[in-house]
Chain A
Amino acid sequence: MVDLSLETEMNRGFLQLLVLVMLEEPMYGYMISKELENRDFSIEENTLYPLLRRLEKKGLVRSEWRIEQDKPRKYYSITSAGNEVKQKLLSIWTKQMNLIDTFRGGTADE
């Protein structure tokens, strides 16, 4: 069964998947961008927050403000619905990767 809407989302939103995977642990926006930077992946700062908000609106993540070292930080964490979507997105992503590999003489069943 192919969930078309999810697949469309997938094409548009590698970042969505990335964020969902990262949010195993609660994180705040700046922390996410730092973590990615440490892995040599840069994300435009101003796209991250709207993305998190959209995920929250869909009920895939939840958020709460905390005060740490006198600083307000908005922590995001994944919800159970978010976990389900993450699993589906991961399987679509794996399928896509495999498909590409078949054209590159990679791991395809021959």
Chain B
Amino acid sequence: MSRQIEKYLSDVKHFLVTDEPKEDILAEIRAHIQERLDEEKAGDDEETVKRILEEYGDPQEVAARYSENKHIIAPHYRNHLFMYTGIVFAIHLGLYLLSLIVGRGMWVLPYGDVTVENVFQLVSMIPQAFVFDFGLVALILYFITQSGAKVRLGWPEALLKKEKKASLLATIVGLVVQTVIVAGSFTIIQSGVLSSWVERLSEWEVGSDSIYIVVSEPAMYYTLLIIGGLFAINLVTGLIKLLERSELINVISGFAGLTFMWFVASRLVVDAVFDVSEELNAAISIGFRAFLSLIAVVIIIDLIIHIIRYWAKKVVKENL
């Protein structure tokens, strides 16, 4: 038999995905080709063989006809593949960001215990994290598909609700309040009234008893800075959203908030002296870190949700 035919059949075999005996499938194709050659009385004429093989079809296509309905991942899980990858990746990214800002290690797949020490490290970890997440979700969906189980996989309906549009009045009131808070915080910081407040608060007389409250000027300064900064970012986001509503703005706003928190946290390391006794300084420092972490966690959760929504809209084509 012509070498061309054998080459063709071995190509078909290469692409065949079936539980049936491949040799039997190939024998049938071989017999068919031979019948055609005999009918045309072509013998082993290379040109005729070539034409007949071409007419029979591309080996890949021919093989595919035998593997109908044999999917690696069922087509109806396509949206789940992308949606779940987005969710896992957003959470993944959130944990890295948390590690970066809090400066503590956390146990994150696929690395185990990780401490993200700087932004460069974070950026270098993102592609691997994404590939890992995609692979993990694909693997699970692969097993579900192969098991043939009719599983109705969940869908994050709650996360993907349409954003309610606030009334214009509420929006304006919100923006005005935020402006007042931002202006207030920064005015206080700038005006230097903090130190006189600290003095007055330090010794507070209730009746004849004196209550001592430990008040630290830097602690107040940082609290005001955080409040002012975060509200300023929120305010800018709110103003932009008056003109253009998009999930991307929420995502960027989240990142801006985190960058700001990160900046504050790094400043805190540099001048983490709260003016009081060493013992108290340590206590306040720990308390302050916990406070910062809490805010960071809130921003990160919000960011994760917005990344998922953005992803759902752009990649999964959800109508948000």
A residues contacting B by CB (< 8 A) are 28-30, 44-47, 49-50, 53-54, 57, 65, 71-74
Contacts and interface: CB of A to CB of B under 8 A. Distances in A.
Given A53-B20, A53-B66, A74-B28, A46 B34 contact: no
Given A45-B55, A45-B56, A74 B31 contact: yes
A100 to B, nearest CB: 28
Contact of B28 (A47, A49, A57, A71): A49
Contacts of B68: 50, 54
A69 to B, nearest CB: 9
B27 A71 contact: no
Given A45-B32, A74-B28, A50 B65 contact: yes
Given A50-B66, A53-B25, A72 B56 contact: no
Interface string B280-317: 00000000000000000000000000000000000000
Contacts of B25: 49, 53
A contact patch SS: helix
A28 to B, nearest CB: 8
Q: Which of A28, A49, A72 has most chain B Cβ within 10 Å? A: A49
B contact patch SS: helix
Nearest to A48: B32
Nearest to B12: A46
Contact of B31 (A44, A57, A73): A73
B32 A29 contact: yes
Contacts of B36: 30
A49 B38 CA distance: 19
A47 B29 CA distance: 11
Nearest to A45: B56
A46 B27 contact: no
B35 interface: yes
Contacts of A46: 56-57, 61-62, 65
Nearest to B55: A45
Contacts of A57: 20
A53 B21 CA distance: 11
Contacts of B31: 28-30, 71-74
B52 to A, nearest CB: 9
A74 B20 CA distance: 15
Nearest to B59: A46
Interface in B15-56: 20, 25, 27-29, 31-32, 34-36, 38, 55-56
Nearest to A56: B20
| In the A-B complex, the 5 residue pairs with the closest CB atoms | A30-B35, A50-B65, A46-B57, A46-B62, A50-B66
B222 to A, nearest CB: 68
A72 B32 contact: no
Nearest to A33: B32
Contacts of A74: 27-28, 31
Nearest to A52: B28
Interface in B78-137: none
A57 B19 CA distance: 11
Contacts of B35: 30, 71
A49 B32 contact: yes
Nearest to B34: A71
Contacts of A71: 31, 34-35, 38
Contacts of B56: 45-46
A64 to B, nearest CB: 12
Nearest to B19: A57
Nearest to B18: A53
A9 to B, nearest CB: 13
Contact of A47 (B27, B55, B65): B65
Given A30-B32, A49-B25, A54-B68, 12 more contacts: A28-B31, A29-B32, A30-B31, A30-B35, A30-B36, A45-B32, A45-B57, A49-B29, A49-B32, A57-B20, A71-B38, A72-B27
